[in-house]
Amino acid sequence: MSQKIIERFKQFVAPTYGRFPITLDRGEGAYVWDTDGKRYLDLGGGIAVNCLGHANAEIARALAEQSAKLMHCTNFYHFEGQAQLAEGLAKRLGQGRVFFGNSGAEASEVMFKLARRLGQGEGRFEIITAENSFHGRTMAGISASGQKKLKDGFAPLLEGFAHAPYNDIDAVRSAITPATVAVMIEGIQGEGGIRPASAEYLLGLRALCDERNLLLLWDGVQCGHFRTGSFQSFQAILGDQIGDFLPDAVGMAKALGGGFPMSAVWISEKHADVLGPGTHGSTFGGNPLACAVANKILEVIDRDDLAANARAIGQFFLDKLVRLREKYPTAIRELRGLGLMIGIEMGGRFSSFDNSKPAAVQWVFALHEAGLLTIPAGSSVVRFLPPLNLTQEEAQDGLDLFEQTIQKVIE
């Protein structure tokens, strides 16, 4: 069964992804089954998307009920679900307004257009992003991202992006020119290998942006939506130091729809009119189905206090992983992360590995055999981005499979 499906992919599906030879059939909570009936614990969460796990009954019901009522109506009209969701997101950030799209890359586009439009009259258009950053795969997205491999072969890129080393406030200051209009960062670099921003960096950026009249644009697509134990990762990173820290815009996607494709950008009230009528749009953005799902997800996260669960289970993982690192120092090199956004820097070059492939991919592959799904990042990082409602038993199950795999690989 699975082999036949894989063959049809080879023939009919564009080869843009390096896909693993797994053919998934169904899921339930933190587990998925392939077409051969093999069960996997899914700690990858569809790259931080499935925040309530697979086949969540409440999401399924919200989706079915909305689809029987009003599936789509375009943004020519009003409907309650979008108002409710915009309010629900804004009240977690501050006075401001929300634009809805369909993907993380589109959230980035809104922030680029916001910055361009704001700077237009003054001839300012440049946006400084971080080295190793990821902001999506559109032409503007790859132009903005600080990773060469995303840009290769796509020249000419969109002009007006400069990159500065992450967590280095002096480097950002030096990169500012008279044309600079904004700075854009991820709170925790996801694709870049789970690298959290420091509190000093965030506070320094806010002060620098205020001083030089720049927008601070926040890509919370991967690190947002309670993954770090707070709605947005700056709230988790800054904690007591937060004061009145707020970015000027916050991009959200991935977990926002829990598997329903959608994105949102919150824009602070001060700049909420910059993108006025006719300046931007999306046919599907924030449609009734998407909003019904996202509203249900926020309701469940609040009701079940999944932010606290993300903190607790994240800490449980980290404590146990620290012990595994002590036990297997050649396999686990370094641990990074916050809440349920965990990056494990793995060692490479084991005799059981095909060393022509990056260590990250080798490890993810070996973990599949044990029945564990994780997400590779960069050349040597394995990511855990599990559902926010993961239980301690499930986390322990994952740690056991992880340890078994390490023992097998390094022996």
Q: Which residues here bind ligand PLP, judged by CB under 6 A? A: 103-105, 108, 134-136, 186, 190-191, 219, 221-222, 253-254
Nearer to ligand PLP, 41 or 221 (CB): 221
Q: Is 194 exposed, middle or buried (0-12, 13-18, 19+ CB in 10 A)?
A: buried
Nearer to ligand PLP, 112 or 134 (CB): 134
User: Which is nearer to ligand PLP, 48 or 332 (by Cβ)?
Assistant: 48
Question: Which residue sits closest to ligand PLP, CB atoms considered?
Answer: 104
CB 346 within 8 A of CB 382: yes
Question: CB of residue 103 vs ligand PLP: minimum separation in angstroms?
Answer: 4
Q: Which two tokens stand for residue 210?
A: 């205020």
> How many helices (H) does the chain have, and how many strands (E)?
14, 17
Distance CA 330, CA 318 (A): 18
Query: Cβ of residue 219: shortest distance to ligand PLP, in angstroms?
Result: 5
Pick the closest to residue 325 from 339, 336, 340, 312 (CA basis).
336
Q: How far is the CB of 404 from ligand PLP (least distance, A)?
A: 29
Burial pattern 307-342, b for ≥16 Cβ within 10 A else e, equals bebbbbbbeebbebbeebbeebeebbeebbbbbbbb
Q: Minimum CB separation from ligand PLP for residue 51, in Å? A: 14
306-327 helix and 288-303 helix, angle to the nearest 10 degrees: 70
The residue among 30 and 264 lying less far from ligand PLP, judged by its C-beta, is 264
Residue 388 φ then ψ, to 5°: -70, -15
Instruction: Give whichever of 112 and 317 is closer to ligand PLP, judged by the CB atom.
Output: 112
**Measured from the CB of residue 273, what is the shortest distance to ligand PLP in angstroms?**
25
Least CB distance from residue 252 to ligand PLP, whole Å?
A: 10
Q: Nearer to ligand PLP by C-beta: 106 or 394?
A: 106
Helix (H, G, I), strand (E, B) or coil at 387: coil
**Taking the complex as a whole, how short is the minimal distance between the CB of residue 110 and ligand PLP, in angstroms?**
12
**Nearest to 166, CA basis, from 208, 215, 202, 212:** 202
Q: Pick the closer one to ligand PLP by CB: 105 or 215.
A: 105
